[in-house]
Amino acid sequence: MTTVIDGKNVAASVIQTVKSATAALEKSSGVTTGLAVVIVGDDPASHAYVGSKGRMAKECGFKSVQHTLPAETKQEDLAALVATLNADPSIHGILVQLPLPKPLDSEAIIQSILPEKDVDGLSVVNAGKLATGDLKTGLVSCTPAGAMVFVRRTHGEDLSGLNAVVIGRSNLFGKPMAQLLLNANATVTIAHSRTKNLAEVCRNADILVAAVGRPEMVRADWVKPGATVIDVGINRVAAPERGEGRTRLVGDVAFEEVSAVASTITPVPGGVGPMTIAMLMANTVIAAHRAAGQTPPQF
Ligand SMILES: NC(=O)C1=CN([C@@H]2O[C@H](COP(=O)(O)OP(=O)(O)OC[C@H]3O[C@@H](n4cnc5c(N)ncnc54)[C@H](OP(=O)(O)O)[C@@H]3O)[C@@H](O)[C@H]2O)C=CC1
Ligand SMILES: Nc1nc(=O)c2c([nH]1)NC[C@@H]1CN(c3ccc(C(=O)N[C@@H](CCC(=O)O)C(=O)O)cc3)C=[N+]21
């Protein structure tokens, strides 16, 4: 029997932990956890994600602020907003939604966020802490942190002897995912657009993670029988069967056929996506605890 991981359900249990930790911190230190999300431009998908982040932050008992800036925003104005949020003691987490519209320099903006407020884990300090195995004081990118919760639930804490293949090498997902798997003792391969014989590389994986952005790229014959398959891709495709002009979300994995081969698989929607938002809340309440000198909860 193939197990389909219910990401909403796992995310709900993470959110429960965040809620109680938020309330406990408020009670012990009088500190309300604060999250600021910055969105530039009017990409509808980005607005939808940011909207759900704000709703979830409120549900967790956070102070939640959203800054919506026009697509024409100048680099120095965005930098000034980040500086204000860095200096605001009521804000513990800052997330700048990516990608930023051209010609904004997203790397400069991301690196200007204080590492202790960088709940996306993208600053060189947090990326470096992850790379050196310091998971105690850094913050880890939400999507790989969430994907890792699924991996741990399936395989336990120690992945010794297991081959993991991550398709994709972005700073937001592929690289930190590979680091987390390596920290857990998996034998890790990172594949990308220049990889030769990708299907063959993937067939070696006991844990296969796809984060590419190509609808249903991973087929059944790419997957080792019994493997765990984590689908990170979010692709909106036409769905004429639902009516003219309708769309639906699919992952990077051909879910139906791969389900027949894998032993565990995450769906899209309802898999990694909801966990990303839950781990953003987790990172924010962790940052608030550290700011207040309290021991943060574990996720
Ligand atoms: N569920 C969630 O919460 C989240 C989902 N996502 C989704 O995950 C996907 C990846 O996101 P992200 O990492 O930011 O994307 P990027 O576009 O930054 O990275 C995509 C990666 O895929 C690789 N790639 C592209 N084409 C191929 C190919 N034909 N074969 C093998 N590798 C290929 C690229 O290789 P190269 O480096 O050589 O160009 C690159 O490393 C997207 O669909 C995104 O929407 C992202 C973040 C959160
Ligand atoms: N600085 C930054 N950090 C991010 O973490 C970040 C980002 N920028 N830019 C875009 C990507 C994408 N991303 C998603 C978050 C939640 C869902 C999610 O909740 N998806 C639902 C479905 C949502 C729907 O129906 O549209 C699901 O998969 O079930 C998806 C994608 C975070 N990202």
Cα–Cα distance measured from residue 6 to residue 45, given in angstroms and rounded to the nearest whole number:
22
Cα–Cα distance measured from residue 179 to residue 217, given in angstroms and rounded to the nearest whole number:
24
Where do we find the tokens 């909403």? 8
Distance set, CA 2 to CA 226, 259, 263 (Å): 9, 6, 5
234 lines ligand 2 (CB under 6 A): yes
**CATH numbers and ranges of domains, the chain:** 27-119 (3.40.50.10860), 142-274 (3.40.50.720)
- What is the per-residue pLDDT for 48? 87
Is 109 within any annotated ligand binding site? no
Name residues contacting ligand 1 (CB within 6 A): 143, 167-170, 172-174, 191-195, 198, 211-214, 232-235, 272-273, 276
Residues paired with residue 3 on neighbouring β-strands, in sequence order? 264
**Residue 219 near residue 254, CB atoms below 8 Å:** yes
- Give the model confidence (pLDDT) of 45-96 as tens digits: 888 889 999 999 999 999 999 999 999 999 999 999 999 999 999 999 999 9
37 lines ligand 2 (CB under 6 A): no
Measured from the Cα of 212, ligand 1's closest atom is: 22
- What is the per-residue pLDDT for 45? 86
- Give the model confidence (pLDDT) of 186-243 as tens digits: 999 999 999 999 999 999 999 999 999 999 999 999 999 999 999 999 999 999 999 9
Secondary structure (H, E, C), the chain:
CCEECCHHHHHHHHHHHHHHHHHHHHHHHCCCCEEEEEEECCCHHHHHHHHHHHHHHHHCCCEEEEEEECCCCCHHHHHHHHHHHHHCCCCCEEEECCCCCCCCCHHHHHHHCCHHHECCCCCHHHHHHHHCCCCCCCCCCHHHHHHHHHHHHHHCCCCCCCEEEEECCCCCCHHHHHHHHHHCCCEEEEECCCCCCHHHHHCCCCEEEECCCCCCCECHHHCCCCCEEEECCCEEEECHHHCCCCEEEECCECHHHHHCCCCEECCCCCCHHHHHHHHHHHHHHHHHHHHCCCCCCCC
Nearest to 119 by CA among 288, 237, 271, 262: 288
Determine which of 30-34, 116-120, 125-129, 131-135 has the lowest per-residue pLDDT on average.
Answer: 131-135
In this prediction, residue 18 has a pLDDT band, given cuts at 50, 70 and 90, of very high
> Would the ipTM clear 0.90, i.e. be above it?
yes
